[in-house]
Structure 1
Amino acid sequence: MARDYYEILGVSRTADKEELKRAYRRLARKYHPDVNKEPGAEERFKEISSAYEVLSDSEMKARYDRFGEAGVSGGAASGFSSDFSDSFADIFESFFSGFSGGVGTQGRRRTGPTRGDDLRLDLSLDFQDAIFGGDKELTIKHLETCETCKGSGAKSGTRPQNCSTCGGTGQVRRATRTPFGSFTQVSVCPSCNGNGQIIEEKCISCGGRGQNEVTKKIKITIPGGVDNGTRLRVSNEGDVGKMGGPPGDLYVFLSVKNHPEFKRDGINILSQLKVSYLQAILGCSLEVNTVDGKSELIIPPGTQPNTVLTLEDKGVPKLGNPVSRGDHLITIEIDIPTKVTIEERELLEKLASIKGERTGKGGIEGFLGNLFH
């Protein structure tokens, strides 16, 4: 039993022409035998094409809607509708880059100058350089236009000639017969490798490539606030293009070395500071290291272990906005001594007595713990 044409295309009976065309293109690309080599794909493609041929023609669609397949029997073989032909041509343009014996403008291969390749360079930065940025001198290798032949690849006094195989197009065409007619398949010319030109006498300096590898030094500016994975683009420092085409770009990927004291959390800097139990109890002012150098940090009286104190605007500049900076966050660690002198012990015992806490050797309890072991 024949399947319903609407069901074959996966559309409703109220689908308009644009919806039918979209459904046909999607299915035809999927099941065309030049793309899909699975068993049954060709039959499925023919079924899809027959369904669309009928439904894309308003008169045939009306007969099909009224009488079913019997109303269009023989009609499908009479010829393609204009909509069907247009859609079919669009699909074969994407398959073969050409249709009905001609090469479309979209299928024509470029034989003129082409842009060069982009290059990548990995650069490791010190922690401080990533924070504040600065200039760096890099040594790179890239392709530049041959000075002798000016990029043509031909010996001085000569010039490339159009390829006789492809006539300078860089492409060759091969006719392919299908059940729907004769089509032209386009491929790269094997004689000129798609360049469209043949160099009979090659340039001695570059061997006919039109390019030479050059080592050079360049200076780049690292903006403040960069981090691991930041990518910087240096325009026109990639490989030069073929046939005198413009160069690509150089991309510099950054990695940041670890710092022995500081860690980074976004635009904030983290570090630890160890203070004595007396400094934590009584409070004090200490000099601490920051990325800007020494800075004063106030330890409030009664500071507890793992308290985080903040030095504002001592962190990392925001990338692209160096005026705005993060903070330096310092985690306080309390240094509890394992041994004390006799004098210190007497003072501490007096303090413990004032506070009413028991101390002494063996089974000691309270604030002083095992300081006297």
Structure 2
Amino acid sequence: MGQDYYAILTLTKSAGDADIKKAYRKLSLKFHPDKNQETGTLEKFKRVAEAYDVLSDCKKKAVYDQFGEEGLKCGVPEGSGQTGAFTHGYTFHGDANKVFKEFFGGDNPFNEFYDGVDGDLSMGFGGLYGRGRKKQDASIERDLVLSLEEVYHGCTKKMKISRRVMNEDGHTSSERDKILTITVKKGWKEGTRITFPKEGDQGPNNVPADIVFIVRDKAHPRFKRNGNDLIFTAKVLLGKALTGCSVEIPTLDGRLLNIPINDIVSPGYQKVVPGEGMPLSSADTKQKGNLIIQFDIEFPKQLTPEKKQLIKEALF
């Protein structure tokens, strides 16, 4: 009994051209001697190549479907068969690597499809024909807006994404939601990038894109952030700016600081309070940046003659 080329490719006689190519792609990669060193796989690799060589050629396939392997290899009557002439019998050239290279393209096509990231063989551009390795889509970037309190204390954020996921048939996809969990560390600076590899849309001929969340500071009613430092603007009356005062500042962790200002508050003057800024994410979480107090001096809108005279006597 002759070889069953359809069975070798795990197909039935109803298989079409696309099915034949898909089956050869799968089995040739599975039994290629560069990947599979088990006993007998080389022979399987050759049988798969011969089966594909026959079934991918419409003339050979037609003869094989009608007369089987014996008719294919021994020849069959030409035309009506009354002339006594026979077709030339088919003989497989025996070079399975030649079939493999012609199918995938290139002088060393096997290496072309080796994915060094996960160790799997994968097909890319060209679908069933397998011309080139899969390319990854460009990263998808999204803002992760955080309040200063969230960055100060650290928190957990759950982000819902919608993406296309391949169905079990390997050809169609559907849109599904997924929750990604981000553990926000204390002191993360604006611009910090959190990457979720390959969480983008799936497709038959692509590697899903990475999804990247980028930390952005949410506007705060009291503070601005500059790196690890917090900046607070205090409004003081001109008289207190000249004679001294104290500034009360509610902190991000619920305390109330009372900072004495004994210097003359001149334009551009700043008061630095060490260790009352944001936690340092790259160091011991007990370390913090500074609190920088800037001043907005409020001048009186008008003065009585008596007050003007007193000021002149005090300053001039």
TM-score, with length taken from structure 1: 0.43
Between 1 and 2, higher relative CO (CA 8 Å, sep ≥ 6) is seen in 1
TM-score, with length taken from structure 2: 0.50
